[in-house]
Structure 1
Amino acid sequence: MAMDSSQVNIKEELICPICMDLLIGPLSLDCGHSFCQACITANKSLSNLEGESRCPVCQRTYYPWTLRPNRQLANIVEKFREVNVRSHQWQTRNVCERHGENCRNFCKEDGKAICSRCVQEHQGHQISPMEEVVKECQGKLQEALKKLTQEQQEAEELEAAISEERDTWKDVINVIRRYVCGTRHSPFCV
């Protein structure tokens, strides 16, 4: 069972741009790009003396302490791995052990591939062709990826708003300090 185009599209989103393999312990930058934890923490080639680094993809600056774990993406990568392992198992074990026939159906209640002769033993169960089940799982994975992308974008927007708010408060505090220091001797004046 070869990967179809939707699986390839999903896999492209789950690849680390540095090692070009499936993400392991994904960390996300403020720019939205995600990398394997080991890859991005070892990325010293684009850093300067102040600890500021650049995203290997878009060159946007970031600080190492702003890296954040992306648990949702990690979960999707894990589910993708599980689907690929099951797909591989179905490829190599696509023959019914009892009847020696190809397993072309899937019993959703028992969660296993079955041949046409096993279908009789699963009467009353929800039986679907294997291709439908695979497409259904791929659709669920695509939806999860869309939701993750949307949530990540919302989180980035919130983070930008918080950063802007923080900068505004820093400016207000500096104005107050200058005012207090200019009008009288204060312990806040350094």
Structure 2
Amino acid sequence: MHWLDGMDLVIVTDRSSATGNGSEICPEMIPRQLSITIFVIFMVKLASTADSCQKLAVCALDNCLPPATNFPPEADIIPLLLKKANFACVLGPTCYEHCKDCETCQYAQEQMKRLILHDPLSNICPKLEACAQSCLDDHVRDPFSCVFRERCVQYCLDNQDCPACYDIVKRVFTGYCYRAGFIEHYGKKCKVFFDELAADFVYGITV
């Protein structure tokens, strides 16, 4: 018997000990069954991560972002969202338990901690991390605003340098969009709408 993350794969070599109909697991079937087992484990872990990230988004909406009160012009939606969102709240104690279990948020949480402690960064998102480092080097008053609203935000929202950062903001926006009734007003699905708005926003601040 071989154990894999608590799941067992029984290899039957004696026909008499096989299942009631006399069938047995042939050796050539083992790699396929092992692959299926690994796939199932992966999907379970993926679902668990997705659930944690969903809980993170709910926590952010409930505690770190005031509800929308109107329907601004499309070009103003992302700037207003970034202005209103408290990312120190999202990455900090308020939503900590959900953030640490959501892979993309955990990355952001860890990098901000390293920045504050002056520890080396991971270089997973090189442009964003270098920009964030410059925020601390310049002793800005609010590092979170510098990273997520002002100096570095294009590296987060271009979905090129740092997909992890993009994913966090997209999750928060999607929940914000649903709650605010943006689908009915703007006639667009939230995730697709965010992709369009983010692309236009980055283009507008980089040209």
TM-score category, normalised to shorter length:
under 0.3
Name the structure where helix makes up a greater proportion of residues. Answer: 2
Name the structure where strand makes up a greater proportion of residues. Answer: 1
> Radius of gyration: which is bigger?
1
Higher relative contact order (CA 8 A, sep 6+): 2
Q: What's the TM-score once normalised by structure 2's chain length?
A: 0.25
Q: What's the TM-score once normalised by structure 1's chain length?
A: 0.27
